[in-house]
């Protein structure tokens, strides 16, 4: 995880006069660090803002006794790829192809996580799956180079075909003519 931070200088007079709570964390009363938003690391150079991710918790289906009827542990993650604009057009189209039904026509990626019985574990699982999809989309496919078989490869193929043909010809029965 990474954070967007804002460093603010406060003069000693302002610090002494202030009776209110100091913001977040102050160093020596002069510099204050404000944590603005948390960032999620996708690659070394790409981070997504946690505020761009919508998380909704719903009740899980399936077995679980009374616990399943009381607790909303399933996580539905929504991430608007087009609005975030951290991916290039090519990466967005690759993500749409990789995600398949998980991505709507509007560019909203939906991930449902209900692997665990804990809400926190399911939240982390959904975010990890989002990061994994984004990493896969960032990999550019290697362009295919057309190649021709070499002359020696063509000759080997034809020689093998000739041997196979001779073998099959030898297996055929011998025709006996009625003339003689």
Where do the structural domains in the chain lie, given as residue ranges? 1-41, 51-140
Query: What is the SS3 assignment for 57-93?
Result: EECCCCCCCHHHHHCCCEEEEEEEHHHHCCCCHHHHH
pTM for the full predicted model: 0.61
Task: Specify whether the CB–CB gap between 125 and 111 falls below 8 A.
Answer: no
Question: pLDDT higher for 33 or 165?
Answer: 165
Q: How many CA atoms lie within 13 A of 88 on its CB side?
A: 7
Place of tokens 């665990």: 116
Q: Which residue has the higher pLDDT, 175 or 146?
A: 146
pLDDT at residue 62 in the model: 64
Spatial contact of 30 and 12, defined as CB atoms under 8 Å apart: yes
- Give me the chain's average pLDDT, please: 78
Could you tell me the fold of the domain covering 51-140? Answer: Double Stranded RNA Binding Domain (3.30.160)
* Closest-CA residue to 54 (of 97, 99, 18, 84): 84
Q: How far is CA 178 from the centre of its chain?
A: 76
Over residues 58-79, the pLDDT tens digits come to 877 766 666 666 778 888 889 8
The pLDDT of residue 9 is: 56
* Calpha distance 79→56 (Å, rounded): 12
DSSP label at 103?
Answer: B
Q: Would you put residue 132 in left (φ > 0), alpha (ψ -120 to 50) or beta? A: alpha
Q: What is the pLDDT of residues 103-141, one digit of tens each?
A: 888 888 899 988 888 888 988 999 999 989 988 888 888
Query: What is the chain's length?
Result: 180
């Amino acid at each position: 995880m990474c954070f967007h931070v804002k460093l603010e200088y406060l003069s000693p007079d302002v610090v002494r006069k202030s009776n209110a709570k100091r913001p977040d964390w102050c160093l020596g009363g002069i510099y204050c660090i404000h944590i603005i938003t948390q960032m999620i690391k996708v690659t070394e150079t790409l981070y997504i803002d946690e505020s761009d991710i919508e998380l909704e918790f719903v009740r899980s289906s399936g077995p679980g006794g009374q616990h399943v009827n009381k607790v909303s542990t399933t996580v539905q993650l929504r991430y608007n790829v087009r609005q975030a604009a951290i991916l290039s057009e090519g990466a967005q189209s690759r993500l749409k192809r990789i995600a398949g039904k998980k991505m709507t026509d509007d560019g909203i990626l939906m991930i449902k996580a209900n692997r665990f019985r804990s809400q926190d574990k399911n939240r982390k699982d959904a975010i990890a799956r989002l990061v994994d999809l984004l990493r896969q989309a960032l990999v550019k496919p290697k362009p295919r180079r057309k190649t021709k078989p070499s002359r020696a490869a063509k000759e080997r193929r034809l020689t093998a075909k000739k041997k196979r043909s001779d073998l099959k010809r030898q297996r055929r029965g011998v025709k006996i003519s009625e003339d003689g």
